[in-house]
Amino acid sequence: MDIEQITPFGRAEADGSVYLRLPDGSEKLVGQYTIGTPEEGLAFFARKYLDLWVELDLTEQRIKQGKADAASAGRAVAKVREALVEPAFVGDVVALEAKLTLLDSVAEAEKEAAAERRKAERAAALEKRESIIVEAESLANSTAWKATGDRYRELLDEWKALPPAPRSVTQPLWERFSTARSAFDKARRHHFASLDAQRSEALKAKEDLVTEAEALSTSTDWNATAAAYRGLMDRWKAAPRGARPDEQRLWAKFKAAQDTFFAARTASFSERDAAQGANVKVKLELLAEAEALNVDADWKAARKALRGIQERWEAAGQVPRADREKLEARLRKVEDSIRKAQDHEHRRTDPEKSARASATVELLRANINDLEAQAAKATDPKKAADLQAAADGRRELLAAAEAALAEFQA
């Protein structure tokens, strides 16, 4: 709608009077203009009508878009109805009243829709409150203290964010929520009180271990004290854990005592190893002498010489731990070679074993001769072949037996 569509519903005189043409054909004086032409004066009063029309139109659109409510429409309708009582504009009164009627219907429809929305919101809020309660009651026995405590705070915020409802509806639900949360809070307080007691007990146990560790830190009984520290460590690991700051502080003291002892032990061992370093040279010379023994030529002479070397070995004293096993392994190798030569001699000169070996050879030879004789007489080629194969198999056993007998006859 524009000014040209509105001005036909009025007229302006040269004396400044402006008239509104009513639906029944009569006219009504609606005001005076003081400056300009009659056309400009008429346009001024037409714009007043247009302002009323635009306000109704905008209100209708805002209601349809959900940006205004029935109360806003009511205020706009009241303003225009008041303007119609004593018109101060020029325009189509019938169209304006029709616009008012349309806005009334739109506002009424919005009022009903708003009532339905509020009803749905109350139902949704009630359903949400009930779901909050169901979750709250399911969490009452949880032992995930932090996560569950956080979740209860979130549920409380969700409850507070819901639209208000009658106390008669919300109070029983709130009491259930509060009961569940209180049960969880009570269990959590009990748990942490118990945990504090356990931590106090753990603190006392760890303090006692630190005292024992510090008392051992100056000991020079290296083996027994090292074993004692291993026992203290086992007890430390088995003891209940305390608060983290206490654990860190006490562990630092425990480790410092332990490190003091083991550093002293390492220094002592290093000093001892340095003193024993000269013994290594002596034992290396003895090893060279032992390894030069001709065991194959005369193991008895080698054994006698080794005994003298072993006596000097013991007299040489201790060597550093890092060298001990390597040196002793070389000496054991010489001892083993003499022992093997001695065992071999014993086996070779054992008459009973020699006799058994000789009897075995004779028995196998007789058995082979018998099998070959049977094979020669056999008329069945397959049987002859089987007998010959058995004889050949015995020959392998005979070769092994003859080799064993040869050792005894060497």
**Span 86-115, average pLDDT:** 86
Helix residue spans in 139-166 (DSSP H): 145-161
**Span 66-74, average pLDDT:** 79
Q: Which band of pLDDT confidence, cut at 50, 70 and 90, is reported for residue 383? A: confident
CA 58 distance to own-chain centroid = 59
What are the residues facing 31 on neighbouring strands? 18
- Segments making up each domain of the chain, as ranges: 3-117, 119-195, 197-271, 272-340, 351-409
Q: What is residue 146's predicted lDDT score, i.e. its pLDDT?
A: 92
Q: How many CB atoms lie within 10 A of CB 207?
A: 14
Closest CA to 284 of 253, 236, 320: 320
Q: What is residue 350's predicted lDDT score, i.e. its pLDDT?
A: 66
Q: What is the CA radius of gyration of the chain?
A: 59
Which amino acid, 190?
H
Q: Using the 8-state DSSP alphabet, how is residue 21 labeled?
A: E
Residue 274 above 80 pLDDT? no
Alpha carbon distance 88, 260 (integer Å) = 105
Assign residue 235 a region (left: φ > 0; alpha: ψ between -120 and 50; beta: otherwise). Answer: alpha
Which secondary-structure segment (H or E) carries 20? Answer: strand 17-21
Q: What is residue 28's predicted lDDT score, i.e. its pLDDT?
A: 94
Sign for the pseudo-dihedral over CA of 89, 93, 95, 96: positive
Residue 356 above 90 pLDDT? no
Residue 410 above 60 pLDDT? no
Q: What is residue 408's predicted lDDT score, i.e. its pLDDT?
A: 64
* Reported pTM: 0.37
What integer best gives the mean pLDDT of the chain? 87
Q: From residue 254, how far is each of 38, 159, 221, 257 by CA, in Å? A: 107, 52, 19, 5
In the block, tokens 């919300």 appear at 170
DSSP letter for each residue of 83-123 = HHHS--S-S-HHHHHHHHHHHHHHHHHHHHHHHHHHHHHHH
Are the CB atoms for 160 and 116 separated by under 8 Å?
no
Residue 187 above 70 pLDDT? yes
Q: What is residue 20's predicted lDDT score, i.e. its pLDDT?
A: 95
Are the CB atoms for 87 and 27 separated by under 8 Å?
no
Helix residue spans in 349-380 (DSSP H): 351-377
Q: What is residue 320's predicted lDDT score, i.e. its pLDDT?
A: 85
Alpha carbon distance 137, 140 (integer Å) = 5
Alpha carbon distance 350, 404 (integer Å) = 12
Are the CB atoms for 273 and 315 separated by under 8 Å?
no
**Span 299-307, average pLDDT:** 90
Q: What is residue 308's predicted lDDT score, i.e. its pLDDT?
A: 92
Q: From residue 111, how far is each of 63, 99, 143, 220 by CA, in Å? A: 10, 18, 50, 96
Are the CB atoms for 384 and 378 separated by under 8 Å?
yes
Alpha carbon distance 402, 406 (integer Å) = 6
pLDDT tens, position by position, 132-184 = 999 999 999 999 999 999 999 999 999 888 888 888 888 998 999 999 999 99
pLDDT tens, position by position, 191-206 = 888 777 777 888 888 8
Give whichever of 196-200, 222-226, 236-240, 295-299 has the largest mean pLDDT: 222-226
Q: Which band of pLDDT confidence, cut at 50, 70 and 90, is reported for residue 409? A: low
